[in-house]
Amino acid sequence: MRRYARLFWVQARASIAIAMQYRVDFVIQGVMSLYWLAWNLVPLLILYASRDVIAGTWDFSAALVVIAWFTMLRGLLEGAINPSLVDVVERIRTGSFDYVLLKPADTQFLVSTTRFEPWKLVDAVGGVALATYAFWLRGHAPAASDVALAAVMLVSAAVILYSLWILVVSAAFWVVRLDNLTYLFTAVFDAARWPVQVFRGVWRFVFTFVIPLALMTTYPAMAVLGRLDATTTAACLGGAAAFCLLSRALWLLAIRSYTSASS
């Protein structure tokens, strides 16, 4: 365990060192985050210009909390998950994945920590600011217990996001040329900015069970709003654990069928 913590630190330090070289990126990143935040709000503003409440309980400030959560998670996705994804898919395609396999450490751990983009932290800060604004609109701060529950849900959301990513990378072992996967990930994830209750029928089913976007943004937002009941919480945590195990199993299966690109 200590060894892995040290390994993680070494890889993270390398990413930070690279990020420090491109300090202008910090400014670009900040401007782009603001830009996307503004565009993301357009449909919401249009919707709430003529409606006070949608899907029963979602008023403007509550929907803002979901968007805030979405912004935070997108920072996580683009800062900690996508960069490594691009890297490992490229390695599988060119065959240099062999060298990763040779290293005396767990391969899944190695490929998931190869690259970070620390400047994406700006997104997380933006998310927190947006949530603060939403609660200012609501006129009261969230209860401490709700914040604690939301923190637990954040961990579970991160686990689900990470597991989905591992599932997608595993696919790259079979279908080699998939360098555009990050676009797919981002595109699908985009739907997570809406409270899942807004959708009906097939959509809600898909976003809750197949691609569990609801577990990533809606339920954590409900937790911080004090609306999440114990059963749903337990189901969320169970779902996260199940996804985690499933992705690990598929990853091991994929590794076993890897036949290198050059041979």
Partner 1 sequence: MSLRDTARAAPTLLRVSMAEALAYRAEFLVWMLTSTLPLVMLGLWTSVAAEAPFAGYQSTDFVAYYLATLIVRNLSGNWVFWHINEEIRTGALSLRLLRPIHPFVAYASTHLASVPLRGLIALPFAAVLLYSSASDRMVTDPRLLAVFVAAVAGAWLLTFLLLATIGCLAFFIEKSMAVFDVYAGMFAVMSGYLLPLPLLPAWVGRVAAVAPFRFMLSLPVETILGRHTPVVAVELLAAQWLYIAGAAVVASLVWRRGVARYEAYGS
Q: Give the residues lining the site for partner 1 (CB under 8 A).
A: 25, 28, 32, 35-36, 39, 42-43, 45-47, 49-51, 54-55, 175, 177-181, 183-184, 186-188, 190-191, 194, 198-203
Nearest-approach distance from CB 6 to partner 1, in angstroms: 33
Cβ–Cβ under 8 Å, residues 97 and 91: yes
Whichever of 152 and 211 has its CB closer to partner 1, that residue is 211
Whichever of 7 and 206 has its CB closer to partner 1, that residue is 206
Nearest-approach distance from CB 43 to partner 1, in angstroms: 6
260: left (phi over 0), alpha (psi -120 to 50) or beta: left
Count the Cβ atoms, other than its own, within 10 Å of residue 128: 13
Whichever of 155 and 184 has its CB closer to partner 1, that residue is 184
Whichever of 150 and 215 has its CB closer to partner 1, that residue is 215
Question: Which whole-number Å values give the CA distances from 36 to 39, 49, 123, 184, 205, in the listed order?
Answer: 5, 20, 10, 18, 28
Nearest-approach distance from CB 99 to partner 1, in angstroms: 20
Whichever of 41 and 241 has its CB closer to partner 1, that residue is 41
d(CA 232, CA 239): 10
Question: Which amino acid, one-letter code, is at 174?
Answer: W
Question: Which whole-number Å values give the CA distances from 254 to 166, 175, 250, in the listed order?
Answer: 10, 11, 6
Nearest-approach distance from CB 25 to partner 1, in angstroms: 8
Nearest-approach distance from CB 56 to partner 1, in angstroms: 10
